[in-house]
Amino acid sequence: MWRVRSTIVVCGLAAFTAAAVPAQTPGRAVKPVTDEMLANPSPNDWLAWRGTGKTQGYSALDQITRANVGRLQVAWAWTMEPGTQEAAPIVHDGVMYLGNPGGIVQALDAVTGDLLWEFRPPPAQEGG
């Protein structure tokens, strides 16, 4: 049996990345996502699989152009839990939410890649 460990790699232009994605600190309240946000998402957020309910997989951000794409560099990388990876990350208010195998959810600062919090479900009880 193969155990696959996926890595999220985030690339960006340093001058643009920090301005495009506001950082969220652990002590800051989370802003709930509303129906209006889902219908008309901010270009700074990625609230659904493939970006929006239209599933185009296209970002309206324009910081990366044909003129500067060659200067992209890895900003940070995050290794996910082993297992089958099928979920796409969700980004809201500067936080990237990752669904991992086994029901594990991680929230990362989208600018720095720092772990903000993690949820690990309790182990299943046998015979329960």
Which pTM value belongs to this model? 0.70
14, pLDDT greater than 50:
no
pLDDT per position as a tens digit, 62-106 = 888 889 999 988 999 998 888 887 778 889 999 999 999 988 999
Q: Where do the structural domains in the chain lie, given as residue ranges?
A: 5-119
Question: Tokens standing for 4?
Answer: 């696959």
Higher pLDDT among residues 42 and 12, named by residue: 42
Element (H, E) at 95: strand 95-99
Least Cα distance to 87 among 32, 8, 34 occurs for: 8
Least Cα distance to 23 among 92, 120, 118 occurs for: 92
52: pLDDT confidence band, cut at 50, 70 and 90? confident
